[in-house]
Every structure is written in structure tokens, then in C-alpha cells.
Amino acid sequence: KEGQKVWEICIWNPNKFSLNLLCGFSPVQVGILMLMNKGTEIYSIILAGFLALQMYFYAEKFITLVRDKEIVFREIQREYDMKFVKPRLSRRKKNVETQT
């Protein structure tokens, strides 16, 4: 219709493989491994592994948080619909006339 605006929102929703690849091979880890020299090989690999585990842990916790919030918001919306919207749709009304 004319004058009606439609908003389209693009949501970034990476698949599990891409997220795990980012956690395991992030730019920070590549930088650490590039700066590695003969004396710091073990420390650099351990640090890169620790960063991978930390990023994976935080990513999993964040995904769980987002899913939980989504479930809570869905239930709140359902309760609102059941309490306020649906009862008003089927409210019975009758016409009463008086003759004078």
C-alpha cells in the first residue's frame, strides 16, 4: 500500500561450524602464532589453545543466554495474548433498545 513502510531486519545467525572455526582459529591466535619464535613455541601454543577454549566457552554461554531470553520473551508474549488480546476478541455484546 502507498505510504506504508516495511522494515526488514537482517539477523546474523552463524552456523555451528563457522562459530567453532572462529573460536579455534581467531585473528588474535594467528597473531600470537605469527609472533612465535624459537624460545616461545610452547608458551605461544598454550596461550593460543587457552584463548580458543575461552572463546568457545564464552560463545556457548552467550548462545545459551540468547536462547533462554528468546524462550522467556515468547512465553511472556503468549501470556499477554491469552490474558489481554484473546478475551477482547470474543467479548459478547448485545443491543438493548428502549421504546419511549
Exposure of 34 in the CB half-sphere (CA atoms within 13 A): 7
What is the tens place of the pLDDT at every residue in 41-92? 999 999 999 999 999 999 999 999 999 999 999 999 999 888 887 776 666 7
96: in domain: no
Query: Which domain range does residue 51 map to?
Result: 16-89
8: in domain: no
Q: How many structural domains is the chain composed of? A: 1
What is the tens place of the pLDDT at every residue in 17-39? 998 899 988 999 999 999 999 99
97: in domain: no
